[in-house]
Amino acid sequence: MTNTKNLTIGQNTYPTVKVGDHTFANIPVSDFITLPPAPVQRNSHMRVTKMKPIFDKAYAANQSHTLTEVAIGVVIVDFDDIDPDTGAVIGSYKAGEVSIIDGATRKHYWIKNPQQAALTPEITAKIHYLSSMDDVNYAYYPYNSKDSVEKTNQLLQGLARRYSWNARQPMFANGSYKTALDWATSRPGDKQYADVAASFNFNFDELKVLDTLPKNGGPSITKPLIKGLKSQSIIAAALIALKYYPNNARLFNFIDNLANISMDDLRNAIAVGDLSAVEVVAAEYSGMSKMRGNGNKPSWLNDMAGSTNFASKEPQLDFLLYWIIEYIQDPNKKLDFDRGIKPAYWENAWADLVADEQV
């Protein structure tokens, strides 16, 4: 078993050296690349393409030694990762387990480029001894804090990994949904947002559901047929609706239909003149709503559709939630496209939904 005098990886044991308050060990790259990432680690394999030219340049300039300092975590006492909101155990870590804290991107680089790995037979690992999730976080974030090299999407990747969520849709896998999370976690009138971890935890169940729609694959809310419908605001509205209408078949149909509607479908509906709730949202977010009446009219949201500006948050969520709820109540209801409706109809739809929850 690993102790403070030796490091054990698999069947191999390496002596450690203490320098001040820190402990180090020299280990072969062949062992390092077998280690899993720390439980809060981002999806480092996705950064290899970006970092490869930098790593290649280091080798070409005889500076490969700059890549040979890494950090690893060694569990010295069994501990559980406990969800702070629910108290549920989401991961268990056993004494002797070793994981990568810094150097995970280099791991994937060396795996994909064995000829470079062969030029770097040994690396130096700084060892962090772990006995709690606090130890994991304090060890990891000095290397990968959002104030230094880690962006919000990488924090979201780390949270997904912590909860063992292997998202199907690339937008969720890449962590590119921060604004949607901010909006879905806030309430009407809020001027500040919760931190990333709190927002992720609050919406985690709904994210997993949204990631599975449609059940049979194909276009999704994060990759719809109409490009304009790929919107942080639409994702936020879907997350909010899923929280208030869980397991609602009509809501699932709304999301599926919105992802699968085509421009030809929308043009045909506009030609007929009667639009469903799905078609109303598609018309607004594709820019086709300006074609009502004699054409060239202002859009219903005055060109805010798809914006991520703070001022557009409540109007967009009011509009989207109004039509989502209309569809849930009656999926066959139609809107006279040429006449349209006044904003007064959908204003405060979000606040009304929240108020219903508090009754």
According to the model, what pLDDT value does residue 1 have? 39
Asked whether residue 120 falls in the same domain as residue 216, the answer is: no
With cut-offs at 50, 70 and 90, classify the pLDDT of residue 150.
very low
Asked whether residue 259 falls in the same domain as residue 289, the answer is: yes
Task: With respect to residue 107, please indicate whether it lies within any of the assigned structural domains.
Answer: yes
According to the model, what pLDDT value does residue 197 have? 81
Give the pTM: 0.65
Asked whether residue 131 falls in the same domain as residue 186, the answer is: no
Query: What string of H, E and C letters represents the secondary structure of the chain?
Result: CCECCEEEECCEEEEEEEECCEEEEEEEHHHHCCCCECCCCCCHHHHHHHHHHHHHHHHHCCCHHHHCEEEEEEECCCEEEECCCCCCEEEEECCCCEEEEECHHHHHHHHHCHHHHHCCCEEEEEEEEECCHHHHHHHHHHHHCCCCCCCHHHHHHHHHHHCCCCCCCHHHHCCCCHHHHHHHHCCCCCCCCCCHHHHHHHHHHHHHHHHHCCCCCCCECCECCCHHHCCHHHHHHHHHHHHHCCCCHHHHHHHHHHHHCCHHHHHHHHHHCEECHHHHHHHHHHCHHHHCCCCCCCCCCCCCCCCCCHHHHHHHHHHHHHHHHHHHHCCCCCEECCCCCCHHHHCCHHHHHHHHHHC
Asked if the model's pLDDT at residue 149 lies above 60, the reply is no
Asked whether residue 65 falls in the same domain as residue 201, the answer is: no
Asked whether residue 127 falls in the same domain as residue 265, the answer is: no
Task: With respect to residue 201, please indicate whether it lies within any of the assigned structural domains.
Answer: yes
Asked whether residue 274 falls in the same domain as residue 324, the answer is: yes
Asked whether residue 68 falls in the same domain as residue 141, the answer is: yes
Asked if the model's pLDDT at residue 310 lies above 50, the reply is yes
More reliable by pLDDT, 154 or 31: 31
Counting the structural domains of the chain, the total is 2
According to the model, what pLDDT value does residue 138 have? 78
Return the half-sphere exposure (C-beta side, CA atoms, 13 A cut-off) of residue 186.
21
Asked whether residue 142 falls in the same domain as residue 195, the answer is: no
User: Strand 69-75 relative to strand 122-130: parallel, antiparallel, unpaired?
Assistant: parallel
Task: With respect to residue 162, please indicate whether it lies within any of the assigned structural domains.
Answer: no
With cut-offs at 50, 70 and 90, classify the pLDDT of residue 45.
low
With cut-offs at 50, 70 and 90, classify the pLDDT of residue 298.
confident
Asked whether residue 200 falls in the same domain as residue 341, the answer is: yes
Q: Once rounded to an integer, what is the mean pLDDT over residues 341-353?
A: 89
What percentage of the chain has pLDDT greater than the value 70? 91
Asked whether residue 125 falls in the same domain as residue 196, the answer is: no
Asked whether residue 220 falls in the same domain as residue 283, the answer is: yes
Asked if the model's pLDDT at residue 331 lies above 80, the reply is yes
With cut-offs at 50, 70 and 90, classify the pLDDT of residue 2.
very low
- What's the pLDDT tens digit per position in 278-287? 999 999 999 9
Asked whether residue 250 falls in the same domain as residue 121, the answer is: no
Q: Once rounded to an integer, what is the mean pLDDT over residues 302-310?
A: 91
Q: Once rounded to an integer, what is the mean pLDDT over residues 192-196?
A: 79
Q: Once rounded to an integer, what is the mean pLDDT over residues 174-189?
A: 91
Q: Once rounded to an integer, what is the mean pLDDT over residues 269-297?
A: 89
State which residues form the domain around 40.
6-149
- What's the pLDDT tens digit per position in 73-113? 999 999 998 877 678 888 889 999 999 988 888 999 999 99
Task: With respect to residue 46, please indicate whether it lies within any of the assigned structural domains.
Answer: yes
Asked if the model's pLDDT at residue 359 lies above 60, the reply is no
Asked if the model's pLDDT at residue 230 lies above 90, the reply is yes
Of the listed ranges 53-67, 240-254, 284-298, 304-318, the least confidently predicted one is: 284-298
